[in-house]
Amino acid sequence: MRLQDLSAALEELQGQHRLRCRTVLASPQGVEVEIDGQHYLSFASNDYLGLADHPALVRALREGADRWGAGSGASHLLTGHSLAHQQAEEALARFVGREAALLFGSGYAANLAVITSLVGRGDAVFADKLNHASLNDGCLLSRADFQRFRHNDVEHLAQLLADSKAPTKLIAVDAVYSMDGDQAPLPALLELAERFDAWLYVDDAHGFGVLGDGRGSAAAHGLRSERLIYMATLGKAAGLAGAFVAGSQPLMDWLVNKARTYIFTTAQPPALAAAVETSLRLIAEGGERRERLRQLAALCRQRLEGSPYAGDSTTPIQPFLVGSDERTVRLAAMLRDRGYWVPAIRPPTVPENGGRLRISLSANHELSQLDALLDVMLQLAED
Ligand SMILES: *Cc1c(COP(=O)(O)O)cnc(C)c1O
């Protein structure tokens, strides 16, 4: 893209209803947000448990800053790794029942780290077709043979694994698919990993804090295996920012030595790490919040059942399938006019003609608020 072509290319995106732009929030994250002086009921954030603005978590962050200062000042391998980071890693490992954990600045960085550190040229990665973009980028960057299997199709994956002669194999999946809300068949995937001597890398960005009593998707299935590498982000249900990888100690030692997105980046502010234990406590005590999420998801399913808009999700990600980009964008705009903020998701984030409104549920939503939203959505979609 040359300098002189940028404006025309942006206009072309606009013409295709594919121009993306940011909205500026003038309030903390929550179910009620302020944008451009207007108040909206938001179904757009990944703050599933409503912790991003929880007073106890805000206090923990503030106290963390008082104790540890503002910045970490260096990468983990220089002098950026504080006792706050160390203790957060130990707490995270304990929480998800693994030997060790490693903190990352973001889930994106964690995904690049794990995949590029374990597979390279001549190896093979096996990725679900609907995997998150950051997993795909990790696969591409690794230079390993990048094979994609049909969404949640264990037979297809088994076939690809059986045909592969790669010395190191890694299966990478989202535990909860970020645009559909459905879940990966983790026990069957782990069985294949055992059978074909492969790693199973699980990105639980949307399951951590929500599934398995908050301990995530692997815990929900009681899966224990050193070849299962667990990754979760701290910026979604955990209400903070960053991510962690959990698994065996030798794996963490390997990542510390090899992962370029760990080595060549500044450690997160220690205050964030210091707040992790409070986030974990709130997650552990969040049974009622998770029950509310289940009720909201059940209501959504029930209201959309049998309609052409229904997806197949029992998680807080509930897609309202629309189709064309134009119609998706138009519906989102009409919802905004009525005080609802529900994001329009278009290709390339989803397949062509897979446009949808992505309803993200929060434990702070009232059932009546969701019910009212669905009334409006169904009515607008029928017109
Ligand atoms: C959000 C997300 C990521 C990226 O995590 P960040 O911490 O936001 O960088 C990775 N994988 C999935 C499935 C996600 O939804």
Per-residue pLDDT for 15 more than 90?
yes
Per-residue pLDDT for 383 more than 90?
no
Indicate whether 378 belongs to any domain: yes
Indicate whether 5 belongs to any domain: no
Q: Are residues 265 and 297 in the same domain?
A: no
Report the candidate in 106, 104, 111, 74 with the shortest Cα–Cα distance to residue 89: 104
Per-residue pLDDT for 259 more than 90?
yes
Which residue's CA is the nearest one to ligand 1's atom 14?
205
Report the candidate in 334, 342, 336 with the shortest Cα–Cα distance to residue 380: 334
Q: Between helices 55-68 and 276-284, what is the axis angle to 10°?
A: 160
- 18 vs 95: CA distance, rounded Å: 41
Instruction: Output the CA 233–ligand 1 centroid distance in Å.
Output: 6
Residue 69 confidence (pLDDT): 98
Per-residue pLDDT for 348 more than 90?
no
Q: Could you tell me the CATH number of the domain that includes residue 340?
A: 3.90.1150.10
Instruction: Output the CA 147–ligand 1 centroid distance in Å.
Output: 21
Residue 18 confidence (pLDDT): 85
The CA–CA distances, whole Å, from 173 to 118, 170, 227, 352 equal 15, 10, 14, 21
Question: What's the pLDDT tens digit per position in 205-258?
Answer: 999 999 999 999 999 999 989 999 999 999 999 999 999 999 999 999 999 999
> Which one of 108, 183, 244 would you pick to mutate in the ligand 1 pocket, going by the greatest count of ligand atoms within 8 A of its CB?
108
Residue 338 marked in a binding site:
no
Q: Are residues 259 and 119 in the same domain?
A: yes
Indicate whether 3 belongs to any domain: no
Q: Are residues 41 and 75 in the same domain?
A: no
Indicate whether 2 belongs to any domain: no
The rounded percent of the chain whose pLDDT value lies above 90 is 97
Residue 356 confidence (pLDDT): 96
Q: Are residues 145 and 159 in the same domain?
A: yes
Instruction: Output the CA 85–ligand 1 centroid distance in Å.
Output: 20
Question: What's the pLDDT tens digit per position in 50-96?
Answer: 999 999 999 999 999 999 999 999 999 999 999 999 999 999 999 99
What range does the domain containing 198 cover? 59-284
- 58 vs 61: CA distance, rounded Å: 5
Instruction: Give the domain-ending residue among 257, 284, 311.
Output: 284
Ligand 1 atom showing the smallest separation from residue 233 Cα: 7
Residues with CB under 6 A from ligand 1: 106-108, 111, 132, 134, 174, 178, 203, 205-206, 233, 235, 243
Instruction: Give the domain-ending residue among 284, 305, 325.
Output: 284
Which residue's CA is the nearest one to ligand 1's atom 4?
107
Instruction: Output the CA 10–ligand 1 centroid distance in Å.
Output: 26
Task: For strands 169-174 and 124-128, give the pairing.
Answer: parallel
Question: What's the pLDDT tens digit per position in 128-146?
Answer: 999 999 999 999 999 999 9
Instruction: Output the CA 48–ligand 1 centroid distance in Å.
Output: 14
Q: Are residues 25 and 65 in the same domain?
A: no
Q: Could you tell me the CATH number of the domain that includes residue 155?
A: 3.40.640.10
- In this prediction, residue 17 has a pLDDT band, given cuts at 50, 70 and 90, of confident
Instruction: Judge whether 232 and 208 are in contact, CB under 8 Å.
Output: yes
Q: Are residues 79 and 211 in the same domain?
A: yes
Instruction: Judge whether 205 and 236 are in contact, CB under 8 Å.
Output: yes
Residue 132 marked in a binding site:
yes
Mean pLDDT estimate for the chain: 97
Q: Are residues 225 and 100 in the same domain?
A: yes
The CA–CA distances, whole Å, from 294 to 48, 138, 258, 287, 300 equal 11, 32, 40, 11, 10
Q: Are residues 325 and 277 in the same domain?
A: no
Residue 344 confidence (pLDDT): 94
> Which one of 134, 211, 217, 345 would you pick to mutate in the ligand 1 pocket, going by the greatest count of ligand atoms within 8 A of its CB?
134
Query: Could you please report the per-residue DSSP string of 88-131?
Result: HHHHHHHHHT-SEEEEES-HHHHHHHHHHHH--TT-EEEEETT-
Q: Are residues 270 and 344 in the same domain?
A: no
Residue 221 marked in a binding site:
no
Indicate whether 371 belongs to any domain: yes
The total number of structural domains that make up the chain:
2
Indicate whether 115 belongs to any domain: yes
Instruction: Output the CA 244–ligand 1 centroid distance in Å.
Output: 11
Q: Three-state SS for 198? A: strand
Q: Are residues 349 and 265 in the same domain?
A: no
Which two tokens mark 246?
A: 């959990």
Residue 328 confidence (pLDDT): 95
Indicate whether 10 belongs to any domain: no
DSSP state of 214: G
The rounded percent of the chain whose pLDDT value lies above 70 is 100
Residue 263 confidence (pLDDT): 98
Per-residue pLDDT for 33 more than 90?
yes
Per-residue pLDDT for 296 more than 90?
yes
Which residue's CA is the nearest one to ligand 1's atom 1?
205
Q: Are residues 43 and 63 in the same domain?
A: no
Ligand 1 atom showing the smallest separation from residue 206 Cα: 15
Q: Are residues 85 and 230 in the same domain?
A: yes
Residue 108 marked in a binding site:
yes
Instruction: Give the domain-ending residue among 256, 284, 312.
Output: 284
Helical (H) or strand (E) element with 359: strand 355-360
